[in-house]
Structure 1
Amino acid sequence: MRTVGLVVEYNPLHNGHVYHFTEAKKQTAADAAVAVMSGYFLQRGEPAIASKWARTEMALRMGADLVLELPFAYAAQNAEQFAFGAVATLDATGIVDTLCFGSESGHIERIQTLASLLTDEPDAFRTALATELARGVSYPAAYGRAAAQLLGDADAQKDTSEPNNILGLNYCLALRRLKSSIMPATITRQKAGYHDTEMTDTRIASATALRKHLLESGNLLTIAPYVPPSTLAVLTDEQNAGRFPVTWDDFFPHVQHTLLTQTPEQLALIHEMTEGLEHRLLTALPQAAAFHELMESIKTKRYTWTRLQRLLLYSMLHITHDQMKQATIAGPAYIRVLGFSDTGRELLRQMKKTARVPVLTRVPKSKHSLLALDVRAAAVYALAYPLELRLREMQREYWQTPIML
């Protein structure tokens, strides 16, 4: 059975995702699709608008055959770590033939060429990167400029600065570093850019625009033209159950509590708390009445919104440098199954023979440090729910079995 791997967040799943899914299977001649999906918190450091179980159901209803969880320690990280964790998870299954991702460029050969040159990060590249960072620019911008200098190609900066291109490059870098047999493929992103906040097409809009529109209107029907009926049905059920939508505003009191009850010395131990950022946070906190106000007051050209969101997330979950290093030092140590179809059941049977790490359908009593972080993140996510739901939802990692469709 020929199988394509997809790296997804589905926040929420929309028509653009359906296009990518359909084209990915078609382009790679795949009989089945395996999606590795972020859990409760996402790559940009924000909470998913709906739970991972709801988004798993969306994926299965769309046609995905097997949904695996990308552990929190990789899911809420920079592009390099995010991509490595996702690719390593797909590679560890032993059943995935190709990895198909969306990109702004749509040229897999060019992305692979860049990956071949940057795999070992030559000294000239590292020097250029350090120089750009010293000028106070963000890491993604510095990376793009350093790549352009190394290659003597101005277009390389665009190839390494657009969000999906960045991820695509890092997927290819991860494949090379893992010496994986999985072959990469890409599909050009259609009609809506990753960061687009407005709807400019009648059928396809970015997840960013859909979330913005949904939260402003408060009416699920306003996004109906942009999502498959199955997504609308799942989100309606979640809304009726009191579990949707979830935003950073739901967690702001917990962020305040974390920052107010920690000393600068304690905060300095948090993962990615560098260059005295703990003092910047503590200075800004008393003037911020909402999460958005806090972010606006601490954001700079160097410290991007995404990086700071992740930093506040690590702070809220009390994740230190040492804890993150310990969790990720050896790569994914297990494969967590969130859901599967009939075809996915066959894939799971095959994985019993091919998987290089344990395949989990339940949380065991003795948990790897990666999984312990997942359980912690799930419990914290439940704080966004109404009081009458919290106790049960905080324990959901222990009682929820994979969704079967």
Structure 2
Amino acid sequence: MSEPPRFDRGHTDDLMSFLAASPTPYHAVANAAERLEKAGFRQVAETDAWDGTAGGKYLQRGGAIVAWYVPEGAEAHTPFRIVGAHTDSPNLRVKPRPDSGAHGWRQVAVEIYGGPLLNSWLDRDLGLAGRLSLRDGTTRLVDVDRPLLRVPQLAIHLDRAVNSDGLKLDKQRHMQPVWGLGEDVRDGDLIAFLEETAGLPDGSVTGWDLMVHPVEPPAYLGRDRELVAGPRMDNLLSVHAGTAALAAAAGRGSELPYIPVLAAFDHEENGSQSDTGADGPLLGTVLERSVHARGGSLEDRARALAGTVCLSSDTGHAVHPNYAERHDPTHHPRVDGGPILKVNVNNRYATDGSGRAVFAAACEKAGVPFQTFVSNNAMPCGTTIGPITAARHGIRTVDIGVAILSMHSVRELCGAKDPFLLANALTAFLEG
């Protein structure tokens, strides 16, 4: 029997605020942590000894966050219910020597991260954000959220065949943004500008992880405002829903039969192989330390993981009205049709029949409809952190998400209802 929904249109409003405030994985993690703190969670350090007390805890490592709630009376072998997601999105990232330029233009040297739709970055007002590493060993987040850079497209007069032959972009030559005028390009100018912007002393920044982002805010779209357009929905939409679901599940306290977990990783868009990626040891270490903190043994850990289920939540493809032939003819997920269950028999997604049953039960409990996505047989299938999580930790994993259009564009498109439908389904899953 379904329960009253926890989230409504206000969740989508809050998602839009979260997207706007999270131009980088580091900002997304900080914003998720702030929401968890308000729900009573406390931060733990990896270098400290952990205790097994009940309550909500979380740790941050770079662009990743793992949070969990231990109910009163939880045993060492109590299984976990995990929502997995990722914090990174395809974009343009600043190179180690950022200051460049030619022909009177000052430019910022960037490298392509992940697989962005390059044309969507052209002729947009762009800001700059990321993490600054300081001489004293600390870090500082920075966000220049105003028009600062632009990647100008070549005028049609100089590329007469662009509309007939298609736009062809060279990642090295054509994607370097401009940010001013001047013949004298000096090493250190960009970082000096960011030091001044962040109120830091000259020369205090010794390292940086910086990326370009569009400054146009998310917005409702359509006759009845039934659509949402915005950046980084892949996959901050899932991070936001997972954070809200974990905070809501924690409100159940001792009634929880599982230990609910949110694991939001970095670097999914380039393979997940990092200390903050899903293919690293972060999640496994947290789960193991949680078991041991409650007095558990190796046997307890094995028992806990044997009963654990992970929902890998990432955006998927809604059927495109102009390209319906690119989709499987019998699987046409629609926006606002509820979250999608992703299936691929070659294990590009981790879903199997038993996982489908778990997700179906959560949706039924939440009163949320769901759909199924399968790729067209003639098209290569993407993948997620789902198969990585299943293989690395030996836990049952199910791939799900929200159907969107324009995936990997600067500005993606989803239905206004789907974000809160996902959050309700995730909450029901975490609560068991």
TM-score, normalization: structure 1? 0.26
When normalised by structure 2's length, the TM-score is 0.25
Which structure has the larger Rg over C-alpha atoms? 2
